[in-house]
Every structure is written in structure tokens, then in C-alpha cells.
Structure 1
Amino acid sequence: MSSSFESTQSVAIIGGGPGGYEAALAAAQLGAQVTVVERAGVGGSAVITDVVPSKSLIATADAAVAISEATDLGVQFYAKGESGKPLKPEVAINLAAVNKRLLSLARQQSDDMRASLAEAGVRIITGEGRLESGNAVVVSTGPGGTDFDRIEADTLVVSVGASPRELPTAKPDGVRILTWTQLYDMKELPPHLIVVGSGVTGAEFASAYMNLGAEVTLISSRDQVLPGEDRDAAAVLEKVFKRGGMHVLSKSRADTVENTGDGVRVTLADGRTVEGSHCLMAVGSIPNTAGIGLEEAGVQMTESGHIRVNRVARTSVPNIYAAGDCTTFVPLASVASMQGRTAVFHALGDAVIPLERRRITANIFTAPEIATVGWQEKDVEDGLINGVIHKLPLAANPRAKMMGIRDGFVKVIARQGSGTVIGGVIVAPRASELIYPIAIAVERRMTVDQVSRVFAVYPSLTGSITDAVRAMHIVDHSDA
């Protein structure tokens, strides 16, 4: 919805990632004078080295699986040999071509975003930005920091993102020991990839490279992959990993990683060693907030270097806002985008709805995907909310049978008494798409009965959502 007023204010944004990009578009839409400072390219690391390339890689892995499993659906691939006898071809991955394509897609997306900003009238400066007091940004634009530009603005938005965390005993070298930003330089599929860290990033890349055909060992310091996620979802994924041949080392902490010349050696805390060809370090990230003038400007930070923000993305300094992975809020590109828009709407006096963590939809792009929204089963078990839960295996869905889907489920969580939908989990191919109806139900506070009256196509995977909420009709509504 367009605003009925135009602002005469100026907005300066450090960082052109999802948060900075959306903040710039929203500010331009409201008539403000907008400047974006970006060092790597519009879209930031999310577009250039993180989300876009990684999900493109995962799409390639999904295609490889679809081809290899097509036989189960009666589709067979053969080529004739010299004798005329049929030969069964193997699925081959040209990783150099894959990486070239996905980096090209990332750059194309960045160029498209830059064009959108330019069309909206946003000024873009390439360089390193830092705060100067609370109303100006100084940009180093020349090589070696020799040239400077100073931008004064009424409102400042900091959206500088985060970088892969590095361990002193496992320093990435870009050759054998890699961060997720360095994977795309590989020309060939790694014969044996060791992934240290079983959080979202580690699980996604472990899943992708396993499905591309690499031998994969996943080292997890916890008793399950994806610690902190829904236990049932993590169990399904771990079962799929092991069925696919992945070595999952649970309750194992990596102490050191060394490049042996022709491979890597990972030494665990208990003295065991694991050897492979390459190692991906996926042990979290650190915010890019050091040395950009935040403390001097009076912005409150955490010990980890994250910027403290409230639900409208405002910092402790009234005219300074922050968005994205550099803040204390949820580190998702979609959240960064919403924070950026919310920050500008609040700063320029437009209508704003404070962000609510319990309404954020998240997805893990493994195979199968894991999508979540709202309150979770553990919250109910811990007594944080009074809810009821219904879980429906996806294998019972007729469309899933037709597609050969064996793994996954739909789980709906509703408030006890009223039957209001307060959360959900979907484990399935394209769970990122399937979670949307539950997200709408959570956002609009719909009851399971209201959702059950929505027609789902038959047959469809969304039919499992309808089946789940229909089964919850037995919820006692006497306290509603």
C-alpha cells in the first residue's frame, strides 16, 4: 500500500544486503533522499556468497536425486553400447559448470537489485562505510582507504550482515579447509567432504553434497543433527542422511583441522581422527560490526558484537536502526528484509507493525526440507504455552505416494480450548512452499476449524494440512 505522504528526510544505509536493500526501497517509496553504501555488491553476502548460490547448488542436488530416483517411478535411462546392448548411464556432476552457473545467477540477481535501486532514485556508493557520530556516514571509496565521502542523514540504518566464524585450530585456507563462501571455487566434486557443524548451514551443505555424489561425514557436537529444531524433523533428516550413506558422528566435537597436503585430518576431542579430501567449517557466524563506529555513536551491543534492536529495528540511539544478521533478532534473509522496511516506516512516520518472533516462518533447505512457524512442540512440553499437537505422516498422502515420497510429515500445533493455530512443522519436498497456509493461519489467528473449511486440491500435498486440522476438530472449545 502506498503512503499518502512524501518525506523530506534523508536516509543513509550501510550495507546493501536484504535488510539494506528493502530499507532503501521503502525509504525511496516514501520520498526520502536515500544513499546506500555497499562494499561487495547490492544484495550483500546473502545474494553473492550465501543464500542465492547455496540454494542454487541445492537445486542442482535435488535434480540429481530426481534423476537417480526416477527408476522408482518406472522411468529408466539407457544408452546403447557398441554391441547394441543397453547400458545404464550414471549421473555425473560437472561441479565447475555448476559453480560457474550459480555464481553467475548470484551476480545477475545482484545486478537486478542494483537496477531496482537505481530506478527508485537511490544513490549507491561502493566502499567501506562507518558511522561518524549519530548523523553521518563516512565512506572509504579509494584503494587503501585514500578517498573519502561523507554522507549526512536524518536516519541511519546499519545492515552489515555477518561472516563465517573461524576457529583458531581450524583456520580456513580456501583450498582444503573451507568456509561456505569458499566452496564455489572447487572445480571437482570433493571425494570425501567432512562437514564440521550440524546446524542449518552444515546440514544443508551435507545434504547437498551427499546428493551430488560425494562421500560425506557430518560431525555434530550434539546428540542430533539440527540441535534446537523439532526433534521429529531432525530424526527424519538423520534417517535420510544415514540411508544415503552419510557418516553422522553425534556427540563429537572437532578440536583441530589440518591440511595434510592431499587431504584433511580432523582430530576430535576424544582423540579420534577423521580423514577426508576437504573440510567445510560450518560453526556459526560473527556480525560484521567491528570498527564501524557503533560504540562511539552510543549504540548498545552484545558481547558477541550483535546490535541490540527492538521490535521496530531501532537501536539504543533514536535515529539509528539496524537490520539483519548483525542484530540480536532472527538471522534470516526474510527477517532482514522485514526489519529494513519496518525500520524505515517507523523512522519516517508511516504505519508500522512491530515484528513478532512467533510469526516468523523459517526453512531448512535439506532434502527433504524442514519448514517451521510459530510455537513448537518443545514449547508445549516445557509449559510455555497450553497447546495440542497433531502429526500426520506424509506417506499417507495420495499425492506423496504418486510422487514416490517416503519421508516427512505435517505437524500442526493449536491452542488448547480455542483451537487457534499457533504453530506448525512440515518436513517434505518444497516444505518452504507448503508452510505458507499454516503461516497465514498463525498470522491471522485462525482456528483449526476455519482452516479445515478451506478447500485443498485433491490430490495435493497441501491436503495433508487439511487432514491434520480436520483431525483436530475434537479439540475442546468449551473455554473459547
Structure 2
Amino acid sequence: MSDFDYDLFVIGGGSGGVRAARVAAGEADAKVAIAEESRFGGTCVIRGCVPKKLMVFASGYGEMIADARAFGWDVGEGDFDWKSFQSKLSDELDRLEGVYQRLIDNSGVDRFDQRAIVKDAHTVELADGTTKSAKHILIATGGHPVRPDLENANLGIVSDDIFDLPKLPKTILIIGGGYIACEFAGVFNGLGVETTQYYRGAQILRGFDEEARGLIAEEMKTNGVDLHCGTDIIEMSEAEGGIRVKATNGTERVFDKVLFATGRVPNTKGMGLEDADVNLGRKGEIQVDEYSQTNVPSIYAIGDVTDRVNLTPVAIREGMAFVETVFKGNPTKPDHDLIPTAIFTQPEMGTIGIAEEDAEEPIEVYATSFKAMHSAFAGRTDRVMMKLIVSQESRKVLGCHIVAPNAGEMIQLAGIAIKMGATKEDFDRTVAVHPTMAEELVTMREPVRRT
């Protein structure tokens, strides 16, 4: 008979926490509980990846209507109905939350729909005042967007607020240059909102391949986003008709909405972690070792709350590795190397491995940029890009960067080959699928440069 109420208590009902709870209960026969203070599914399902991607889809249909005419279809003008979309989106998120709840319940995991905090190394306190003891505690509480330290910053919204807007604004200013800022710039622009974006850095999407992010910036501007790099907000205040914003580029304008996409921080505040002597980093992130274990041996953490690689599939992998390590006797480190990812900007980007600028050994660069068949026929000017970074010595493909429609779908498949250690010659031996955009990945024969 265990001395604890549970073998595992998971705090946080997002993708990582739910997966860990289900697998520990279903495959390791552990007695498991999970607590979530908001909605099961977490950031990704409720206020992140899923609703955002559905908005990306919605925002692309205006362009599709124009393309349809170019391809001979007799299509009339249409208007986007925000309320109709919002209702359908709400229904879909409710459905997905129900799926998560049923998965938990069917796995035999005890579910608590309330906040939980850590009292000590083996005790969790629920919002109703009850306490539960557990041999192991797993924290998977994710993160949340933050506003900058600026007077009247409360006048602006953050990404969590977007899906609940009572109506679409006529004008919006987006502050930030990361993937969230750039994705929503494309979304609002595609939905007919006059979209302005300020980013204090020299180029958007810092940390990604320079050539790829340069093309995305150019295409965003061509598509209608009023993008200003090297520009930040100085002050904001209430004004008739919206929010008055002064910027470092000398402009002063009134916008219906201002969206801050300037960063996220881990959800550790008020969690009792300091009292339990769990080590936290500068941003409040939970510090863990390679096995997701904190300095308190019974407490583990996965996902965005650790601020390692803040992606949903990574949190899920970390949860699986945690179960293998703690409940199956198979010490497993989550693999954070060569993670493919997609940025749902317009145009979309898929990437894996190193950027050209980050190479630490002699490399060859294979790259091409062209008009895709579909775009050329429709009379559009947008271009796509395919790029491979290849080691001169080992011939392995060290990085792949794609800027194109459905780049995320392409990078998922290219990522398998690169993760397996494919060489440039392996790519060359692969017969092209014609006519496709992706065939360029296997038909680039000569490097454009060596460094």
C-alpha cells in the first residue's frame, strides 16, 4: 500500500501534462491525478496553435477567391463574417476540450478542474483547500503572453485576447517581430484589417535563417502589411476612436487595437515553488536537468514552463520521456536536436537545423527562389524559396529552410531525412515529384556559395 494518495500528480492540463498523465496511468499502471485551472487542452488547443491555424485558414480565402477567378471560375465578391467564424471556432474548441477530458477520464486519471499549487516535495494543494500527496509531482503549466513595461500598456491586447474580440478592428498595430507577431499580422491583413507592425530589431523573425526571413518580410509588405523594422512604441494613450500611439520613427497614429506580441513568460507565479525550494531561472522558468527533473528529486517539469524549446510537440515528447524515465525504468532524455518547425506567416515557413549564419564548419549553400506554378498562372508576384545547408566535410544536410505555401507540410517530411542524417547526395538520388514546388529540394545540383 502506497504512503501517498497518488503515484503522480500533474499540474497543468495542456498537451504535455495530459499526455504524461494518460501514459503513466494507461501504460505504467500508475495512480494518477491531474489539475487544470482553466480549460483542458492548454495554450495550444484553446488559445494558441489550433485557433490560430484556423484563423490562418480563414484569412487565406480572400486570396483564393481572386485566384479562382484567374483559373476561370465565376466567383463573386464576399465579405468575412467574424461573428460566424467566431461561433464555429468556439464550438470547435469546446469539442476539442471535450476530447481531452474524455481521454483523461477514460485513462483512469482523476481529474480536478481547479488550480493546484505545490506545498512541499510531495504535497499539492487544490483551490478548494484540500491537499493531495504524491510520490512524484509533474508541473506542466505552460506560459502566458506579457505586456511591456509601458504606461497604459493595459490599453493593448495580447494573443490570448484575439479569439474573443467582439468585432474585427478596422485598424490594428502589432508590436513585435517574432513568429506570433508575424503570424497575426498576416491573419489580420488577410481578413481585411488595415495592419501595421512595429519591430524594434533590424529584421523580423530573429534567430531564423536570414535569407528566409528577408523574403518573408518582403512578401508581407507586398501583401499589404505596413511593416516597420527598427521601430518601437514610445507612448500610448486613449484617444477618440481608439488608441493613440507615438513611435520612434516619428509617427503618431490612432489605431482601433494594439496587439502586444513581445514575449511570453512561464506560469510559475504563485505556484509555491519557492517555498518548496524548487530552483527558478531569471524569467521564472523551472530549472531542470536532461531528464526534466528539478533540484527537488520528486518534482519534475516539462513544456513551456521550463523555457527550453517552447513547442507543443516538444512538450509531448518531454512528457513521454518523463514517463519512460520515472515509471518504466528506462531513463530517457527528450531529444531537442534537429526539431522541424513551421511558422504560419503568409508566406509560410518550414525550417529544421541550422541557419546559414550559424554554421560553425565549412558549408555549401544550395538555394533557389522562384514563382510557383499556381501563383504565376494567377498573375501573382509572390515567390517561394528552398534552401539547403550542407557540410562540406560530411556532406550531411545540416539545415533546410522553405518559404512557400504549405511549407510546414514539406518540412515535416524533409525533417525525417535530415534527422536520419541524409547527405546532399541522398537528396540528389531521390527522384523528383513533378510538377511540385518541393521537387526543387532534390534538383539543386550546384551550390550558390561556399563558406
The C-alpha deviation readout for 1:17-39, integer Å capped at 9, x for no partner, is 11111211221222111111101
**Per the alignment, in what secondary structure is the counterpart of residue 295 of structure 1?**
coil
Q: Give the secondary structure class of the aligned counterpart of 1:155.
A: strand
Secondary structure of residue in 1 paired with 2:130: strand
In the alignment, structure 1 residue 102 sits paired with structure 2 residue 89: yes
Structure 2 residue aligned with 1:462 = 438
Matched position secondary structure for 2:160: coil
TM-score using structure 2 length? 0.92
Q: Name the structure 2 match of 1:228.
A: 207
Deviates more, 1:61-70 or 1:205-214: 61-70
Give yes or no for contact 1:263–1:275 (8 Å, CA) kept in 2. Answer: yes
Q: Is the 8 A contact 2:198 2:229 kept in 1?
A: yes
The 5 A counterparts of 1:153-302 are 153-169=134-150, 171=152, 177-269=156-248, 272-302=251-281
Q: 1:240 is paired with a residue of what secondary structure?
A: helix
Paired residue for 2:73? 75
Q: How many residues align?
A: 444
Distance 1:172 1:109 in 2: 32
- Write out per-residue CA displacement over residues 97-116 of structure 1, whole angstroms, 9 at most, x where no aligned residue: 11222222222111111111
Check whether the contact 2:153–2:236 (CA below 8 A) recurs between aligned residues.
Answer: no
The 1:361/1:219 distance shift into structure 2, 3 A limit, reads: same
Q: Give the 3 Å change call, closer, same or farther, for CA 131–454 of structure 1 in structure 2.
A: same
Q: Which residue of 2 aligns with 1:56?
A: 54
Q: What amino acid is the match of 2:312?
A: A
Once the two structures are TM-superposed, the CA of residue 390 in structure 1 deviates from its matched residue by: 0.9
Matched residue, 2:114: 127
Q: Does the CA contact (< 8 Å) of 2:292 and 2:300 recur in 1?
A: yes
Tell me how far apart the structure 1 counterparts of residues 327 and 385 of structure 2 sit (CA, whole Å).
Answer: 44
| 1:362-441 alignment runs, 5 A limit | 362-380=341-359, 384-395=360-371, 406-441=382-417
2:116 partner amino acid: G
Cα 1:442–1:312 change in 2 (3 A) is: farther
Tell me which of 357, 368, 378 is aligned to 2:336. Answer: 357
Name the counterpart of 1:25. Answer: 22
Letter of the structure 1 residue corresponding to residue 139 of structure 2: V
Shift of 1:407: 1.8
Distance in 2 between residues matched to 1:464 and 1:39, nearest whole Å: 48
**More deviation in 46-55 or 353-362?**
353-362
Tell me, yes or no, if the aligned pair for 1:265 and 1:273 is still in contact at 8 Å: yes
Higher deviation after alignment, 157-166 or 398-407:
398-407
Equivalent residues of 1:311, 1:356 under 8 A apart: no
Kept in 2: contact 1:94–1:188 (CA 8 A): no
AA of the residue aligned to 1:96: K
Distance across 2 between alignment mates of 1:341 and 1:248 = 41
Query: Residue 444 of structure 1 corresponds to which residue in structure 2?
Result: 420
Partners of 1:104 and 1:298 lie apart in 2 by 42
Secondary structure of the 2:111 match is strand
> Structure 1 vs Structure 2: percent identity of aligned residues?
26
For the Cα contact (< 8 Å) 2:388–2:401, is it kept in 1? yes
**1:359 alignment partner, SS class:** coil
| TM-score when normalising by structure 1 | 0.86
Q: How many angstroms does 1:192 deviate by?
A: 0.8
Question: Which string of whole-angstrom CA distances, capped at 9 and with x for unpartnered residues, describes residues 137-172 of structure 1?
Answer: 1111xxxxxx22322222211111111112342556
**Matches of 1:154 and 1:403 in 2, distance apart?**
61
In structure 1, what is the Cα distance between the partners aligned to 2:363 and 2:282? 35
1:86 is matched with which residue?
none
Alpha-carbon distance in structure 2 between the residues aligned to 1:298 and 1:386: 46
1:10 pairs with 2:12: no
Preserved CA contact (<8 Å) 1:73 1:404: no
Distance change >3 Å, CA 97–CA 223, structure 1 → 2: same
Shift, 1:185, TM fit: 2.5
Q: Secondary structure at the match of 2:195?
A: strand
Cα pair distance change 1:311/1:170, threshold 3 Å: farther
| Unaligned stretches of 5+ residues in structure 2 | none
Deviations 1:237-273 (A, max 9, x none): 1111211222111111112222324211112246532
Output the CA distance in 2 between the equivalents of 1:393 and 1:9: 56
Distance 1:26 1:344 in 2: 7
CA gap of 1:274–1:69, structure 2 versus 1, over 3 A, is: farther
- Could you say what secondary structure the match of 1:434 adopts? helix
Tell me by how many angstroms 1:235 deviates: 1.5
RMSD: 2.4
Partners of 2:135 and 2:233 lie apart in 1 by 47
Q: Residue 443 of structure 2: SS of its match in structure 1?
A: helix
Contact preservation (8 Å) 1:399, 1:461: no
Q: 1:308 aligns with which of 263, 287, 304?
A: 287
| Equivalent position SS for 2:350 | strand
Where 1:325 maps in the other structure, the secondary structure is helix
Which stretches of structure 1, 4 residues or longer, exceed 6 Å deviation after superposition? 402-405
Structure 1 394/113 Cα, relative in aligned 2: closer, same or farther at 3 Å? farther
State whether residues 35 and 124 of structure 1, in contact with CA within 8 Å, keep that contact through their aligned partners in structure 2.
Answer: yes
Residues 319 and 347, structure 1, Cα contact 8 Å, conserved in 2: no
Is the alpha carbon distance of 1:362 and 1:207 closer, same or farther for their aligned partners in structure 2, counting shifts above 3 Å? same
Q: 2:305 is paired with a residue of what secondary structure?
A: coil
